[in-house]
Amino acid sequence: MFHKLLIFTVLAIFIDGILTKSVELTFELPDSAIECFYQEIEKNISAALEYQVITGGQYDVDVKVEAPNKQILYQQQKMQYDSFQFTAQHTGVYKVCFSNEFSTFSHKLVYMELNVGPETPLPGVGDHATVLTQLEASAEEVHSALNRIIDHQTHHRLREAQGRKRAEDLNERVLLWSVGETLAVVVVTFAQVMILKNFFSDRPTIYK
């Protein structure tokens, strides 16, 4: 199932890179594994990377951004979340890698967003040489406000998913602890009953 999900993710990146030059996805990062994603960027085009670990272990991963000439543009270890902006100095394929090699048993669920180039303007706005009309200016403001709302909603969804996972883990630990305490109480009670029973049991006296 994971391999199918990974193939679909890479295909989505390829299509998204051609059409919109924007990638937003959530993927599973197994323990002791590393996953890399590739995006072709033209020279002097700006790009922005944002990521966050949603679930797994200590909610941290190693992240690296590499240019086509093998130059390391960004590298961090055991990060929970961060953002990185850069301008491409060379035309070619840039590589973004997420590593969980330091973890031997914890799977991670990672959210990643990569935006390349300036935001696509509204259709028809700016096509003429005159200044923007009041309606066009209002439409542009509404468009910017909606984009900000989308970003806030994304962050809130990530925080909600992370909080829910932590609550589920805490609930599971409390449940296991409660079951352990219950078993301990039963064992101690049974042991005490057996000890008291031995104290008051009638033993035959042997006379010589």
Residue 135 sits in which domain range?
Answer: 124-208
SS3 assignment, position 144: helix
Residues 95 and 21 in one domain: yes
**Measuring CA to CA, how many Å separate 117 from each of 41, 46, 122?**
9, 5, 15
Q: Which of 120, 150, 173 is the last residue of a domain?
A: 120
What pTM was estimated for this model as a whole?
0.61
Give the residue from 144, 37, 151 showing the smallest Cα distance to 96. 37
Smallest Cα–Cα separation from 111: which of 152, 148, 61, 145?
61
Q: In this predicted model, what pLDDT tens digit does every residue of 75-129 receive, in sequence order?
A: 999 998 888 999 999 999 999 999 998 888 888 889 988 988 876 665 655 555 4
Residues with Cβ within 8 Å of 52's Cβ and at least 6 positions away in sequence, in order, are 80, 81, 110, 111, 158, 162
DSSP state of 120: P
Task: Encode pLDDT of 133-159 as tens digits.
Answer: 777 777 777 877 887 787 777 777 777
Same domain, 87 and 154: no
